[in-house]
Structure 1
Amino acid sequence: MQKKITIIGAGNVGATAAHWALARKLGNIVLLDVMEGIPQGKALDLWQSGPLDGFAGSVTGTNDYADTANSDVVIITAGLARKPGMSRDDLLAKNVAIVKACAEEAVKHSPDCFMIVVTNPIDAMVHTAFKVSGLPKHRIVGMAGVLDSARYRTFLADAIGVAPQDVSAMVMGIHGDNMLPLVRLANVAGVPITDLLSEEEIAAIVKRTQMGGIEIVNHLKTGSAFYTPGLAAIEMAEAVLCDSRRVMPCAAYLEGEFGISGYFLGVPVVLGANGVERIIEFELTEEEKNALKDSVEAVSRQMAATGL
């Protein structure tokens, strides 16, 4: 029996995620949006690529949550996107209402789903979805670290002159200016990046990673990134659907790990059929602990602003 993936929000991120899910042949796809005709048209277009791509599942566009029933994975991308001059926090008030409604409706029809929240500000939005959905902590995460780490690895690979897939690097913490691109553990085929780049080069890459989203927003003017965010969400969904036990940095709910409790924050987790199988905890340096503390303070302000 094929798996079922629901993507809520048929904008650039949602439609791109649907495209990646189809290309990876992960199962039947439902694309939902409040705008009548938009999800139907995009789903029809995607479905018609089956003969060329080899995809044999269904792609359904809908405005009705009933069509999402019994989804294995629900991905929430609905919400407003950033524009130049806006921070992720500027989106919070309006996106809280959107994500709240999406999560409540989704779990009515798919109470056993694994939920991935992509809407910004991600750490606050996954907190919102967690509070209203009633899902257990291991069945809901925010997509942040997978995207941020992909940006980090891309910039490192370009600077060093190697294939991006040979760069191992991870970003922890909030999906925002206080994110923590780990330098100490980043390497190329086991060789530390500190042996390959100067301190100045590394500092510039860390800063560019932290500003990676706004760099794209400033180019696009009327929207934000969608190709890599869409793929990052599907990477996470695939790990759950295929029980591959991939280690990925996700915004997961912490209960004492890294000395933090009561917050969703980007940390390395094992994703498998049961969702978050475990959080991989390791010793941080004092500098890293302080950086993570800054993330917690920022997330705390966001959480308070949600009113939940």
Structure 2
Amino acid sequence: MTKNDLTSSGGSRSAWPSTVAVIGAAGLIGSGVVERLAVEGLADTVYLTDLRDNILQAHAIDIAEAQILAGSTHTQLVVGPPPPGLPVDLVIVAASAPETPDGDRRDFLLANLRLLRILLPDIERLAGDHGVVMLLSNPVDVLSDALHRMSCIAPDRIVGYSLNDSIRFRAAVGREIGARPEHVSGLVLGEHGDGQVPLYSTLAVNSVPLVLSSDQRDRITADITGWFSRWSALKPGRSSGWTTPLGVAQIIKSMASGGVHPATIWTGALPELPDTFVSVPTVFRDGRLVPVLPTLSEQEITGLAQAARSVGTAAAEAVEALQATPK
């Protein structure tokens, strides 16, 4: 394993997670996550929850037939939550307010924070005392911090999905140097959005370290920070429905095997950073998300700390504003 790896296997997959609940499983991303879990056999039982029960029933039928085609019928799909008093190993929150064009990811904050408050009793019940909660909604860093502030869930059992930033970094580097992006490795840390911190020191092509000029770095940084505005200009009304489910499956496999992967987690164990949630290299150990920060340049540490301060401030202000409004 090297710090250049996006996800690095730490051995064969363990029995974790045996049970998974996907909140918002009727939507594009939620149903895509269920499909990946089922087809890849990443859990024994997956519970699908959403207000649209008919859509859940249809997804369950469709995905179960896809399992037969894939030759992987191990995972049982259950429409509805588990029985009361039966928490799950992993709660995936894919429910989100409808995305609108223009602006940035933080424009979804208040709507998704209100939704998170509504879902909070279900999230806490499903997670119990030991389950992990994975957030997929934007802005994932601020929402992860807000969930910690609003709930009784231990902060090191909360994780936000942020792998897509590193994928887009690899794609931008590939475009810049004319390389196939699957041959490029590199990490993006920090905030999922304008506060992202590309680690140019981790770049490699076919495991050979890559050194770029300052002009190349500037173009790549402009490319990745401009991704969301280019996406919004298409007015798709949705988020990345194919990349995220596949990435979630990769992260779950990495967590199960003890591999290192980028994820939005609690920074309370890192003296270099304010106490909040940003993306850092992470390992899942003894049921907890643990940061494994590599050696960073002064500029990278500064960028990461700046992103953390921004996220923490936004989360504190958003939760305060939410608490001042009626439920």
- State TM-score, norm by structure 1: 0.88
Farther off after superposition, 282-291 or 172-181: 282-291
Could you tell me how far apart the structure 1 residues matched to 2:30 and 2:176 are?
31
Counterpart of 1:31 in 2: which secondary structure? strand
Tell me the equivalent position of 1:235: 250
Question: For 1:9-48, what aligned pairs fall within 5 Å after superposition?
Answer: 9=24, 10-27=26-43, 28-48=45-65
Tell me the equivalent position of 2:135: 117
Could you tell me how far apart the structure 2 residues matched to 1:99 and 1:18 are?
20
Amino acid at match of 2:272: G
Tell me the equivalent position of 1:58: 76
Q: CA deviation at 1:38?
A: 2.0
Q: CA deviation at 1:6?
A: 1.3
Question: For 1:258-297, what aligned pairs fall within 5 Å after superposition?
Answer: 259-272=272-285, 274-276=287-289, 278-297=290-309
Amino acid at match of 2:145: H
1:169/1:255 Cα in 2 relative to 1: closer, same or farther (>3 Å)?
A: same
1:158/1:23 Cα in 2 relative to 1: closer, same or farther (>3 Å)?
A: farther
Question: For 1:1-308, what aligned pairs fall within 5 Å after superposition?
Answer: 3-9=18-24, 10-27=26-43, 28-56=45-73, 57-62=75-80, 64=81, 66=83, 69-111=86-128, 112-144=130-162, 146-194=163-211, 197-240=212-255, 243-255=256-268, 257=270, 259-272=272-285, 274-276=287-289, 278-307=290-319
Could you tell me how far apart the structure 1 residues matched to 2:126 and 2:136 are?
20
1:299/1:7 Cα in 2 relative to 1: closer, same or farther (>3 Å)?
A: same
Q: CA deviation at 1:120?
A: 0.6
Contact 1:16 / 1:230 at 8 angstroms: preserved in 2? yes
1:76/1:109 Cα in 2 relative to 1: closer, same or farther (>3 Å)?
A: closer
Counterpart of 1:71 in 2: which secondary structure? coil
1:232/1:286 Cα in 2 relative to 1: closer, same or farther (>3 Å)?
A: same
Q: CA deviation at 1:301?
A: 3.2
Counterpart of 1:207 in 2: which secondary structure? helix
Tell me the equivalent position of 2:325: none
1:169/1:47 Cα in 2 relative to 1: closer, same or farther (>3 Å)?
A: same
1:286/1:109 Cα in 2 relative to 1: closer, same or farther (>3 Å)?
A: closer
Q: CA deviation at 1:15?
A: 1.0
Contact 2:158 / 2:265 at 8 angstroms: preserved in 1? yes
Could you tell me how far apart the structure 1 residues matched to 2:235 and 2:262 are?
27
Counterpart of 1:138 in 2: which secondary structure? helix
Could you tell me how far apart the structure 2 residues matched to 1:151 and 1:68 are?
41
> Relative contact order, CA 8 A, sep 6+: which one is greater?
2
Contact 1:7 / 1:32 at 8 angstroms: preserved in 2? yes
Deviations 1:161-190 (A, max 9, x none): 444343220001011112111112211234
Could you tell me how far apart the structure 2 residues matched to 1:215 and 1:161 are?
21
Contact 1:148 / 1:171 at 8 angstroms: preserved in 2? yes
1:47/1:275 Cα in 2 relative to 1: closer, same or farther (>3 Å)?
A: farther
Q: CA deviation at 1:71?
A: 1.6
Amino acid at match of 2:234: H
Could you tell me how far apart the structure 1 residues matched to 2:232 and 2:86 are?
35
Could you tell me how far apart the structure 2 residues matched to 1:134 and 1:298 are?
23
Amino acid at match of 2:23: I
Could you tell me how far apart the structure 1 residues matched to 2:204 and 2:85 are?
41
Could you tell me how far apart the structure 1 residues matched to 2:139 and 2:209 are?
32
1:52/1:224 Cα in 2 relative to 1: closer, same or farther (>3 Å)?
A: same
Q: Could you say what the CA RMSD is over the residues aligned between the two structures, in angstroms?
A: 2.4
Contact 2:91 / 2:126 at 8 angstroms: preserved in 1? no
User: Percent identity between the aligned chains?
Assistant: 23
Contact 1:83 / 1:218 at 8 angstroms: preserved in 2? no
Contact 2:104 / 2:228 at 8 angstroms: preserved in 1? no
Counterpart of 1:281 in 2: which secondary structure? coil
Amino acid at match of 1:174: E
Residue segments in structure 2 that go unaligned for 5+ positions in a row: 1-14, 321-327
1:66/1:38 Cα in 2 relative to 1: closer, same or farther (>3 Å)?
A: farther
Q: Give the number of equivalent residue pairs.
A: 301
More helix by share: 1
1:134/1:236 Cα in 2 relative to 1: closer, same or farther (>3 Å)?
A: farther
